[in-house]
Structure 1
């Protein structure tokens, strides 16, 4: 059944990655909940315009009081949202006094400050691989913050993840989206520059070959960055992070055969670029 009234618009352009990270699952909960914006605003105790702005990411960054009121009505876990909200507030250049003042005015009365046990187990199993992947595209500090963000986002939508056909694949989409939102891009393709300086070939190159090896590595990484997304992920895990095919399959939540196929197609594409005329089967 469709909602009466005007349809909620899309997320505004220019919303930061940290802000979008929590806004998307909150909007998903809103769309699944059946309330109109007016009904949500009334239950949350805020004006319709304020709630509409929050759900679209327009105007000033929302206060924690407003955000908590909305997520309480929608049944969104408060503790991971608080961390996500704080991170996005600082990304929006809010001063610590404002952030802390907002938080101090709200008492969280419902929900555990710890994630569900199965979520914690999932995070423990996958954190290493997620961090390893993120390091290829992001700096060390951004990498850690992004992976922490991903597990908080997964906590927000953990019931949805568990009810999906494949929890691992569901979670990987969240991780990849967060990493790519922060990765540097050229012509729409992610850049793998930081990883180029950690290759075995570069580390073992003789002093006289260092600069040439750097150029070769950067050229190769530019080409890898232009691979289709799934092939890119497979190559990153297989050749930049040294995971076995079955390990990559486990992380991405796909069959082992899919990893072999993607690896084979990626190698053919890269061979065609660097060694035209060579048949790589």
Structure 2
């Protein structure tokens, strides 16, 4: 068996269907799915995550040029879930900012540890901590 030259393997990897996008999806899939299942019917949640990553695949090169592709992936998931869920679903927390809604749902409702919330959303762990403290003050 002969091995292809190294540059040939690298070129082939670049043409593969965004292996880094697949890795990102696989890394956070359970968290994305738990979030979607919280707000959507269980049969719709996996399809919604799939559709969010289809959206990301179309602009993946641009996403890779951002400071945090993970944050972009979270925004794509969040946007798709909120679109499918409709505006009434987040009504009780609509007075909160999107990042506050995220930490409320992910940490306080789904009980994900703060570090996992930060990893899932592509947010600095300190920012998650600050948002939780702010929410605690606001919600009493």
Give the shorter-chain TM-score range: 0.7 to 0.9
2:52 and 2:103 map into 1 onto residues whose CA distance is: 20
Q: Which residue of 2 aligns with 1:92?
A: none
Q: Secondary structure at the match of 1:141?
A: coil
For 1:117-170, what per-residue CA distance to the aligned partner results, in whole angstroms no more than 9, with x for missing partners? 212111110111111111121111221110010111111111111111111111
Matched residue, 1:183: 85
Q: How many residues align?
A: 126
The answer to whether 1:124 aligns with 2:26 is: yes
| Larger Rg, first or second structure (1 or 2) | 1
* RMSD, aligned α-carbons: 1.7
Matched, 1:236 2:101: no
Given the two structures, how large is their TM-score scaled by the length of structure 2? 0.81
Asked whether 1:153 is paired with 2:55, we answer: yes
Report the alpha carbon displacement of residue 115 of structure 1 after superposing the two structures with TM. 2.3
Gaps of 5+ in 1: 1-111, 192-221, 272-281
Judge conservation of contact 1:234–1:248 (CA < 8 Å) in 2.
yes
1:226-246 alpha-carbon deviations (Å, 9 max, x no partner): 322111100111121111111
2:64 maps to: 162
Structure 1 runs (4+) greater than 6 angstroms displaced: none
* Residue 225 of structure 1, CA deviation: 4.7
Higher helix share: 2
